Structure formats: structure tokens, C-alpha cells
Amino acid sequence: MTDGQNSYSSSDGQLTTICNNMKDDGITVVTINFATPTSLYPLYEDCASSPDLFFPAPTATQLQSAFEAIALQLSVLRLIQ
């Protein structure tokens, strides 16, 4: 867990490349922004495999809700497969 902000400006591009490579390899990418500046949301929303797999969580309560939503999505995925 980090503050979400990259230390170097080139790191945003590296993050985007890594996210795209994972998605191209068929990996489902889920991102959670816990107590991070909202200015970071677009970067991490683009990293997620789909908009519904990006979870902004400014508070601990919303973080818990994010993990509950992820667990629900995983259980549905397993039932379908």
C-alpha cells in the first residue's frame, strides 16, 4: 500500500504499460484508491480492467465496501465459470 503518487513523472507511464500488459495477458486488474487524492483516480481507473473494477475508497468504511464488492464479483465469476 502506498500513497498512490509516483515519485517520478515517468512512473505514471510505466504503470500504464504494466497495467496494459497485464490486461493483454488476460489478467483481471482491480484497483482500489484508499485515502488518495482524487487527482489520481483517472490513472488507476484506466489501470483497472473495467470501470466497475476501480474502487475509490476515501474512508475505511468505503474500503470495506470495496472489498465486499470485489468478493461478490469473484463469487459470481466462479459460479459462471
pLDDT digits (tens, 9 = 90+) for 22-43: 999 999 999 999 999 999 999 9
Residue 3 lies in a domain: no
Which residues, 6+ apart, have CB-to-CB distance to 42 below 8 Å? Answer: none
Residue 4 lies in a domain: no
Q: How many domains does the chain have?
A: 1
Domain that includes residue 42, residue range: 10-80
pLDDT at 75: 80
Residue 67 lies in a domain: yes
Its pTM stands at 0.80
Residue 2 lies in a domain: no
Residue 71 lies in a domain: yes
Average model confidence (pLDDT) across the chain:
88
Residue 32 lies in a domain: yes
Alpha carbon of 58 to those of 6, 51, 52, 63: distances in Å?
18, 17, 17, 7
